[in-house]
Amino acid sequence: LAKTTQPISMDSYEGQEVNITCSHNNIATNDYITWYQQFPSQGPRFIIQGYKTKVTNEVASLFIPADRKSSTLSLPRVSLSDTAVYYCLVGAFSGGYNKLIFGAGTRLAVHP
| Residue ranges binding another protein (CB under 8 A) | 32, 34, 38, 41-46, 49, 87, 93-105
Q: Are 75 and 82 in contact (CB under 8 A)?
A: yes
Nearest approach in angstroms of CB 29 to another protein is: 17
Q: Are 24 and 4 in contact (CB under 8 A)?
A: yes
AA identity, residue 25: N
| Residue 91: φ, ψ to 5° | 180, 175
* Closer to another protein by Cβ: residue 7 or 103: 103
**Which residues on adjacent β-strands are paired with residue 104?**
none
* Closer to another protein by Cβ: residue 28 or 101: 101
* Closer to another protein by Cβ: residue 48 or 78: 48
* Closer to another protein by Cβ: residue 13 or 39: 39
Nearest approach in angstroms of CB 83 to another protein is: 16
Determine the Cα–Cα distance for residues 49 and 33; give it in Å rounded to an integer.
6
